[in-house]
Homo-oligomer: A and B are copies of this chain.
Amino acid sequence: MGVATLEKPAEAPAAQMPEQAEKLVIFAWSGELDKIWPTLILATTGAAMGKQTTVFFTFWGLFPLVKNDVRITGENWMQKMLSTMNRGGTGHLKLSKMNFAGAGKAMMMHLAAEHHVAGPQELMALAQEMGVKLVPCQMTMDLLGLKREDLIDGLAEPAGAATALADAQGAITLFI
């Protein structure tokens, strides 16, 4: 009987395989409304599905993290000019095309409200509540003259590309 048992396929190995956590890592490079929107929709959806979700904000993607009431950022005239031309904050986003000096954007926000689709400001708050890790890229913060106090509360510690890539191994990865 002992022998018979030996021939039985012992336990289902699946149960002993190391569980790979489901992960989603988004590299948010773009600062435009129509790019930050899918970033936040995917991030909140991923978190709702139980995926460990990280958004790494870099380059133009940092500007939506600026507090809405911060007008000008940067230490030297070049960084200041950049922030003047490209005002930060989820309340000041533009469409990447068909913005028409704000008319296209207004239309899009109107349509979203009509269809009960949350805007970027709500989605950013929702992402934080759901535990999405929002990481600003330290190197581009330095480059663009963005300081930690310019950015909204509730973000993870600023980090670099290596941290983002370490998170990304085995994850769904998207560069948006």
Knowing A2-B6, A107-B82, the reply to whether A14 touches B17 (Cβ < 8 A) is yes
Among candidates B9, B60, B143, B176, residue contacting A11 with C-beta atoms closer than 8 Å: B9
Chain A residues 85-114 with CB under 8 Å of chain B are 85-86, 97-98, 107-108, 110-112
Whether, in the assembled complex, A51 has its beta carbon less than 8 Å from a beta carbon of chain B, the answer is yes
| Inter-chain contact A59/B78, CB cutoff 8 Å | no
Q: Count A interface residues, CB 8 Å.
A: 66
Name the prevailing secondary structure of the A interface residues: helix
Q: What 1/0 flags go to A105-137 for Cβ under 8 Å of B?
A: 001101110010100000000000000000000
Knowing A82-B107, A161-B42, A169-B172, the reply to whether A14 touches B18 (Cβ < 8 A) is yes
| Inter-chain contact B85/A162, CB cutoff 8 Å | no
Knowing A11-B12, A49-B165, the reply to whether A175 touches B172 (Cβ < 8 A) is no
Whether, in the assembled complex, A48 has its beta carbon less than 8 Å from a beta carbon of chain B, the answer is yes
